Amino acid sequence: MQERIVYMSWLVFTDIVLPNVRANVIQRFQMAEALSDIEDVTVIIKRGRLDENIMENIGIRKAAKVITTGYSSITLHRLSALLYLYSFRVVYTRDIFFSFITAILGKKTILELHTCNFSRSQRIVFKAIELLNISRVNVVCISQGLSSDFCLNFPNISTHIVHDGISIKYSNEGNLNLLKRQGDVAYLGSFYEGRGIEIIESLALRMPNITFDLYGNDNKYCPSSSNINAHGRVPNSIVMETLSEFKVLLMPYQFNTKTSGGDNTVRWMSPLKLFEYMRSRSVIISSDLPVLKEILNESNSILVSPENIDEWEAAIIKSLSDPIESQRLADNAFRTSVDYSLESRAKNLISLVQ
């Protein structure tokens, strides 16, 4: 018998099809887990089952309540989800159309945006929200850059800036002493265009005595140098353990950073690996981009010009040769991560609808 859903609970509406371990799936299930420590939360997905293997890969310990509609069509999926709506107080989603419908039906709604690349029909929905002054839709943006661009297009819709984050409840703090770590330099993430893999390849050629470990390879990437070790995807449950083996972590985002769908999100992104890097207590060397500087600064990282190989090389040399300064940066980044915990993020979201 299906467990009864308690009134006054949260509905997390998604278009997820399991099994899927992409970052956006990890983020949504981890956020649902953080919310469930405070509220009664149910996640609606299209198809699939949340088994122990998937839970390990997306890094959650507590099985979420999941409703599966079974529909491939997004329209039928939305309509099916509406049948459950009466049981919930709050709707939390990234789906623009679903958020509009639930707000019209009187539900407090949080719409979380990760992009400003909207279709014509999505723009019409936002214009309708403006014209009808629908206050039940709380628009959350994951960065200041995203909020600024959104407000240029829809100035009459208020936004709330709530950066992404990482759970600090389970995360491994790692070896506190960088000198005792075995690995030199690592990168963890996707290999899409604009992620800076070509920067790492150039660095490897210049620095043959340094080993570069790359995690997230989809088996299509072939290392260009013998000092590059390409690894597959790391289950999220052991990401922190893996990162904590390295002294330096690279985040070489370029000006054309693309998602799997081809969108350039360099002005808006709030990447999961940023928070994982900070929590790992390693030295972070990152591209000097405005959206990343919403969180990173000279006290918790080394910021360099995205395309300047000389600056990247100098930053790595300094990090590996100056243990006192490196330890200071790593410790500061770790302390910063506490301000961006999913546990705090959950409380911030809840405060929007109280």
- The pLDDT tens digits of the residues spanning 133-174 come to 998 999 999 999 999 999 999 999 999 999 999 988 766 555
Q: Which are the contacts of 53, defined by CB distance < 8 A and separation ≥ 6? A: 19
Same fold, 9-167+341-352 and 178-338: yes
Residue 8 has pLDDT above 80, yes or no: no
- In angstroms, the CA 172 to CA 244 distance is 8
Burial class (CB in 10 A: 0-12, 13-18, 19+), 208: exposed
Residue 1 has pLDDT above 70, yes or no: no
Which pLDDT belongs to residue 217?
75
Q: Which are the contacts of 157, defined by CB distance < 8 A and separation ≥ 6? A: 126, 129, 130, 137, 139, 150, 151
Give the chain's mean pLDDT: 92
Residue 6 has pLDDT above 50, yes or no: no
Q: Order across the sheet with 283-287: list the strands.
A: 228-231, 212-215, 183-188, 246-251, 283-287, 302-304
What is the average pLDDT across 278-294?
96
Q: Do residues 186 and 227 make contact, with C-beta atoms less than 8 angstroms apart?
A: no
In CATH, the architecture of 178-338 is 3-Layer(aba) Sandwich (3.40)
- The pLDDT tens digits of the residues spanning 161-171 come to 999 999 887 66
- In angstroms, the CA 48 to CA 130 distance is 36
Residue 270 has pLDDT above 50, yes or no: yes
- Biggest CA pair distance of the chain: 63
The first and second tokens of residue 93, run together, are 């989603």
Percent of the chain topping pLDDT 90: 79
Residue 11 has pLDDT above 60, yes or no: yes
Residue 184: which of 249, 246, 231, 243 has the closest Cα?
246
| DSSP strand pairing (212-215 vs 137-141) | unpaired
Q: Cα 109 vs. chain centroid, distance in angstroms? A: 21
Distances (CA, A) of 53 to 3, 33, 153, 165, 219: 22, 16, 42, 23, 21
- In angstroms, the CA 137 to CA 319 distance is 46
Residue 260 has pLDDT above 90, yes or no: no
Which pLDDT belongs to residue 5?
44
Which pLDDT belongs to residue 172?
56
What is the average pLDDT across 245-270?
90
- The pLDDT tens digits of the residues spanning 201-220 come to 999 999 999 999 999 977 77
Beta strands in the chain (DSSP E): 9-13, 41-45, 65-68, 88-93, 108-113, 137-141, 159-161, 183-188, 212-215, 228-231, 246-251, 283-287, 302-304
- In angstroms, the CA 316 to CA 210 distance is 9
Written as one string, the DSSP assignment of 258-279 is B-TT--B-TTT---HHHHHHHH
What is the average pLDDT across 29-50?
95
Residue 243: which of 270, 274, 200 has the closest Cα?
274
Residue 175 has pLDDT above 60, yes or no: no
- The pLDDT tens digits of the residues spanning 83-115 come to 999 989 999 999 999 999 999 999 999 999 999
Measured from the Cβ of residue 247, the count of other Cβ atoms closer than 10 Å reads 23
Between 223 and 309, name the one with better pLDDT.
309
What is the average pLDDT across 51-66?
88
Q: Do residues 256 and 287 make contact, with C-beta atoms less than 8 angstroms apart?
A: no
Any idea where the domains of the chain sit in the sequence? Answer: 9-167+341-352, 178-338
Q: Do residues 249 and 187 make contact, with C-beta atoms less than 8 angstroms apart?
A: yes
Between 315 and 61, name the one with better pLDDT.
315
Q: Given pLDDT bands bounded at 50, 70 and 90, which one contains residue 62?
A: confident
Considering only CA atoms, give the Rg of the chain: 21
What pTM was computed for the model? Answer: 0.92
Q: Do residues 93 and 14 make contact, with C-beta atoms less than 8 angstroms apart?
A: yes
Residue 319: which of 309, 327, 311 has the closest Cα?
327
Q: Do residues 161 and 332 make contact, with C-beta atoms less than 8 angstroms apart?
A: no
* Topology classification of domain 9-167+341-352: Rossmann fold (3.40.50)
What is the average pLDDT across 297-311?
98
